[in-house]
Amino acid sequence: MATVTQLRPPQPRAANRRRLAVLRAAGLLLGAGLVLLAVLISVAVGSKHIPLDAVWNALFHFDGSYDANLVWDQRMPRTLLGLAVGAALGVSGALMQAMTRNPLADPGLLGVNAGSAVAVVVAVSALGLTSLSSYVWFALAGAAAASVVVYVLGATGRGGATPVRLALAGTVVTAVLTGVITAFTTMNAKSWQLMRFWTIGSLVNRGYDVLWQVLPFLVLGALIGLSVTGSLNALALGEQVGRSLGAHIGRTRVLTATAIVLLCGGATAAAGPIGFVGLAVPHAVRAVVGPNYRWVVPYSMIAAPLLLLGADVLGRVLLPTGELEAGVITAVVGAPLFIHLVRRKQLAKL
User: Residue 206 belongs to a domain with what CATH number?
Assistant: 1.10.3470.10
CA 117/CA 21 separation, integer angstroms:
39
Any domain includes 296: yes
Any domain includes 340: yes
- CB neighbours of residue 183 within 10 Å: 12
Any domain includes 36: no
Any domain includes 93: no
pTM across the whole model:
0.85
pLDDT of residue 347: 45
Any domain includes 212: yes
Any domain includes 68: no
Per the structure, the count of domains in the chain is 1
Show the low-confidence residues of the chain (pLDDT under 50).
1-2, 4-7, 345-350
Any domain includes 86: no
Any domain includes 256: yes
Residue 324's domain comprises 101-347
> Which tens digit of pLDDT belongs to each residue from 258-299?
999 999 989 988 888 888 898 889 988 998 898 899 999 999
pLDDT of residue 193: 64
> Which tens digit of pLDDT belongs to each residue from 203-240?
888 888 889 999 999 999 999 999 999 888 887 777 77
Q: Which of 319, 338, 291, 277 is nearest to 90 (CA)?
A: 277
pLDDT of residue 162: 65
